[in-house]
Structure 1
């Protein structure tokens, strides 16, 4: 069951929101180490530019919350609700989004490097230019999701559902488990002129992209 925000915490959140809205002229930046915010209803709050590495947000409700330009590395969002949240340019590397609901999320240019997102629902979201390298994306629902220009190098995608997903210059080289992923149909190409691939044609395209060699820069940085 979700909890209401404690008064002291609410005051700190409101001070941070004022700090962001007034371009640092008023209020105070939210500063904290590892915090336990599990089960809290934080819907619609403004957490942009916040730094909360290692925060526990398991089963929290963050519906419509602005979490852009923020740091949530090694955080935990297990079974959290982030529908319609904004995570633009947010760093959530090595975080856990297991079974999280992330419908209609805008996460353009966010980083989920080595994140554990298995069984998360990312349907109808914008994850273009996102870095999913080395992430656990098994059983993730990518239906009708924009993953154009995203990176999936060495990500685990077994049993992920890519039906209706949009691809364009998406880096799938080295993706693990693509042979077990589902894609009834996908679109390939930029938004103005997408090409629809269905059934076996969609599957063959995904497998061919996953079989491409890893780029030299990735191997140099992360190894094989």
Structure 2
């Protein structure tokens, strides 16, 4: 029985049979993962680059240091997952759920997070440079030292209730840190309402 089959059995029997998935430094790009559940798993430093994983359930999983570069993750569920040090560069993360997730030094450079659910997530030194965050929901999210240079923030929701500690509108090499209310004001000023975006388009 493969480890993926064992994980499926473990999920289906609520832990009575099979074994919880634990893999490290595995290249998964040549596998068909469509039939296997990947929630509640330990999947560290693994490669998912360029795969089609739309609506995949990764909830409550440890995914630290894995890579999802240019991966299709539209509607995927990362709720309560640890995606710290994960690389989502150029990934399609539209309408994905990252609620209550941990994103320490996570990279979303040029990723599309339109309509993403980021509610109550922890974003610490998360890299959103040139990311698209149209209509993303950051209600009760904790935002600290987050990189935002070039990010599209049109219609971002929940800013009033987010815990905004600091943002970096510069680069890692030449930071431009805004703290507290100054950071919140910058975010509000750069969050144009959706009707303006539609008018421009």
Residues 111 and 53 (structure 1 numbering): CA distance in 2 closer, same or farther, change over 3 Å? farther
Q: Equivalent residue for 2:197?
A: 215
Q: Equivalent residue for 1:162?
A: 143
Q: Secondary structure of 2:113's match?
A: coil
State the 1:36 CA deviation: 3.9
Distance (Å, rounded) in 1 between the aligned partners of 2:153 and 2:68: 22
Residues 8 and 104 (structure 1 numbering): CA distance in 2 closer, same or farther, change over 3 Å? closer
Distance (Å, rounded) in 2 between the aligned partners of 1:138 and 1:115: 11
Q: Secondary structure of 2:183's match?
A: helix
Distance (Å, rounded) in 2 between the aligned partners of 1:208 and 1:169: 14
**Selected match of 2:28 from 47, 50, 74:** 47
Distance (Å, rounded) in 2 between the aligned partners of 1:54 and 1:115: 19
Q: Equivalent residue for 1:16?
A: none
The number of residues matched between the two structures is 190
Give the root-mean-square deviation of aligned CA atoms: 2.4
Distance (Å, rounded) in 2 between the aligned partners of 1:149 and 1:174: 16
State the 1:125 CA deviation: 1.4
**Selected match of 1:113 from 94, 110, 113:** 94
Distance (Å, rounded) in 2 between the aligned partners of 1:52 and 1:180: 37
What runs of 5+ residues in structure 2 fail to find an aligned partner?
Answer: 12-19
Q: TM-score, normalised by structure 2?
A: 0.85
Superimposed CA distance per residue, residues 104-129 of structure 1 (whole angstroms, 9 cap, x where no aligned partner): 11111111101111001111111111
Distance (Å, rounded) in 2 between the aligned partners of 1:58 and 1:8: 14
Superimposed CA distance per residue, residues 69-98 of structure 1 (whole angstroms, 9 cap, x where no aligned partner): 111111101101100001111111111111
What runs of 5+ residues in structure 1 fail to find an aligned partner?
Answer: 1-5, 11-34
Q: Secondary structure of 1:186's match?
A: strand
Q: Does 1:133 pair with 2:117?
A: no
- Determine if contact 1:55/1:76 at 8 Å carries over to the other structure: no
Q: Equivalent residue for 1:82?
A: 63
Distance (Å, rounded) in 1 between the aligned partners of 2:172 and 2:40: 35
Residues 7 and 48 (structure 1 numbering): CA distance in 2 closer, same or farther, change over 3 Å? closer
Residues 145 and 164 (structure 1 numbering): CA distance in 2 closer, same or farther, change over 3 Å? same
Superimposed CA distance per residue, residues 4-23 of structure 1 (whole angstroms, 9 cap, x where no aligned partner): xx34869xxxxxxxxxxxxx
Residues 80 and 69 (structure 1 numbering): CA distance in 2 closer, same or farther, change over 3 Å? same
Q: Does 1:142 pair with 2:152?
A: no
Distance (Å, rounded) in 1 between the aligned partners of 2:197 and 2:36: 33
Q: Equivalent residue for 1:26?
A: none
Q: Equivalent residue for 2:178?
A: 197
